[in-house]
Amino acid sequence: MRLAVTGRHGQVVRSLLERAPADVEIVTLARPEVDLQEPRAVAEAMVAARPDAVVNAAAYTAVDLAETESELAHRINGEGAGAVAAAAARLGIPVVHLSTDYVFDGSLSRAYREDDVPSPLGVYGASKLAGERAVAGANPDHAILRTAWVYSPFGKNFVRTMLTLAQSREEVSVVCDQLGAPTCALDIADGVIAVARNLLARPEEAALRGVFHMTSSGETNWAGFAEAIFACSAAAGGPSARVKPIPTADYPTPARRPANSRLDTTRLAERHGVRLPAWQDSLAPCVARLLAAARAAP
């Protein structure tokens, strides 16, 4: 299976490159060669890549900055996603598109299901919702995978930030009234590959198409996540800090965050047979890798 993946340095793209088994070839399509803001460049790159399926993992992800860069966010996350899906449709191949919990406002008291009505709180969520709709409209052969609270051994993420803060602080204040499931990008990569295989193996099966939620099982809040990170770090001889739980109101940001980012993953398990591990299971290996990389750095 040959997958064309938009992006090159993002957490999911790097995880796909690492986790792809021997029978899966990953071809990255990224700037400067491929710009999601240029539909013709996307289409030409797709033809040249000769993929069996496309994974749209590239996105504008600066949640707070999006509040002042609305046009750019919508151009990349909305129009760009549609261009990728349209290019895949012209080639007659499926597209797997990554989306986010930010399409919801977080007001429900239970985990969100795929058929719950989206209601984004900010520009980032609105741009990602626009992307979902553009993908669905451009290519019926699609699987849209919403995930949340993504971290990995790569790039900027909450785990790396906490470990960095613990090097210089004895106490770290972390929001405690937002719920979700920390999800390792390496696990997401495994799930994406499994979904792509299913789409290719069963092209006529409508139940495999549509929107699915893909996060780790279990739930916590950001403060609980931070405590787990520090526990893993301390066990591995790394830095640790006390966590001071605070309400969201005490940590204002330009963009509002959903108070409830829990996503019900039942549909993904039933239709694709994909279940990501419990969030705690993937955390310790990731922390160990980040600590090892920090120790090896000059």
Are residues 215 and 263 in contact, defined by beta-carbon separation less than 8 angstroms? yes
Are residues 229 and 181 in contact, defined by beta-carbon separation less than 8 angstroms? no
Q: Could you tell me how many residues make up the chain?
A: 298
Q: Which residues of 62-79 are buried (b: 16+ CB within 10 A; e: fewer)?
A: ebeebbebeebbbebbbb
Are residues 73 and 60 in contact, defined by beta-carbon separation less than 8 angstroms? yes
Q: Active-site residue numbers?
A: 124
Listed in sequence order, the residues at least 6 apart from 92 whose beta carbon sits closer than 8 Å to its beta carbon are none
Burial of 207: CB neighbours in 10 Å, binned 0-12, 13-18, 19+: exposed
Listed in sequence order, the residues at least 6 apart from 1 whose beta carbon sits closer than 8 Å to its beta carbon are 23, 24, 25, 52, 53, 193, 196, 197, 200
